Amino acid sequence: DTGVSQNPRHKITKRGQNVTFRCDPISEHNRLYWYRQTLGQGPEFLTYFQNEAQLEKSRLLSDRFSAERPKGSFSTLEIQRTEQGDSAMYLCASSRGTGGIINEKLFFGSGTQLSVL
Amino acid sequence: DAKTTQPNSMESNEEEPVHLPCNHSTISGTDYIHWYRQLPSQGPEYVIHGLTSNVNNRMASLAIAEDRKSSTLILHRATLRDAAVYYCILGGGGGNQFYFGTGTSLTVIP
């Protein structure tokens, strides 16, 4: 396993701009998750894909957020019209997806740190 | 989503065992108990998980109470590299995501 890769590692943007993050999961992992983490807090679930299908979205995922996973491989998370409250670490994770999540290991990337000025 | 309760912080001396507690009194019969840790500037890392029986792996041991309402993560010999935030999470309840709390920040003293 080469690990979960996230790009960029850091992103600084001005309020109102759009940003896009990329996540490359571990090869052949069927499930892919996006989490958000603010300073001093644990990661918060945003959304989850099984292959290319987005199966679950948190209420934290406002209309300005959109995630895709074309062809069930890499995923992108886009934030439109960024706000200062969007400043956070955005984490991606993947798992094999061969059974129920309750018994799965998640492999996390190092995250993308977003700063909205 | 079932909740877990952990102390905010703990300290341990290097090379001594560490016992990190977690309470999960509302756990359901199908919930697995997972532990992840997060080192500074990194994503969370899987440590161990179990359902009912105690579990061991190369990183740690997981001791699960008989009533499953609490568990303890055991690091047998703490090293400086074990300094991290440790999260106790319940996986299950019909959902497809893990809910992280604020975890326990472990400080290892040389």
In chain A, the N- to C-terminal Cα span, in Å, equals: 36
Tell me the pLDDT tens digit for each residue of A53-72: 998 888 888 899 999 999 88
From the list A114, A110, A18, A34, the residue with the least C-alpha distance to A74 is A34
Would you state the pLDDT for residue A59? 86
At residue A104, does pLDDT exceed 70? yes
Q: Write out chain A residues lying below 8 Å of B41, CB-based.
A: 110
Between A4, A43, A55, which is nearest B100 by CB? A43
